[in-house]
Amino acid sequence: MLTRKQHELLCFIHDRLAESGVSPSFEEMKDALDLKSKSGVHRLISALEERQFIRRLPNRARALEVLKMPERQERKVAPASSLAKVPVPVAANENVLEIPLHGRIAAGAPIEAIEGQSNLSVPAALLGPGEHYALEVAGDSMVEAGILDGDYALIRRAETARDGQIVVALVDENEATLKYFRREGAMIRLDPANRAYDPQRYDPNRVRVQGCLAGLLRRY
C-alpha cells in the first residue's frame, strides 16, 4: 500500500514519462507535490524504489523507470491504428484473452530477447485474427510513433513484413528490437521513430521478422 504522497509522485513521474519520455527533475517533483525541500522527494523516491514501483537507470542523470502502477488503477488500451495516443478503457464485460508475455524488447539499441513465463490479459477485439504475444517496451526510440517505455506491444506472429510496418526484428538470432521495417537496396533498414536515434542497417541474413505490431496496451 502506498501513501498518498508516494502515489501522487508515482503518477506524476509516470505521466511525465508518457508525455515527454524524460523523467521530471527533483525540483519539478518538489513543486508538483508542494514539498518544502528536495530531501522529501528523495525519501519518496527511495520508498518507491524499495517497493519496486520504480527504478533508477544507471549512468543517466535523473533517469527513472516506472516498473508498475498500483493494481487498483484502471488499465487502458489503444489499437495499433492510433498507437496508444488516445487510450480506450476496458469494459468490465468485454471478452478478454490471455496471451504470452515474453519479456522486454528494446525500442532503442537492440537488447537480448528474453522469453517470459507469464501471460497478459488483452481485450479480444484489440487483437484481430492470428496468433499473438506481448512484449514490454524498453527505451524511447519509438516515442514519435506513440510507443513509450513501459508500454506493452501486442504482436501478431509473422515471418514477413511490408515496408513501413512496425515489427519485432531478431538480429543475429539473439537480439530483438521494435522498429519500422524497410528494404534499402540489398539491405534491411530498421528505422526508429525518434530523431535522436539513427537507422540500423543489416544484411538480410542477419535479420528475422518475428511479428508485426497489432496494438498497444498501457497501464495507468
Catalytic residue positions, numbered: 141, 179
Phi then psi for residue 123, to 5 deg, are -60, 130
The residue length of the chain stands at 220
Distance CA 177, CA 149 (A): 13
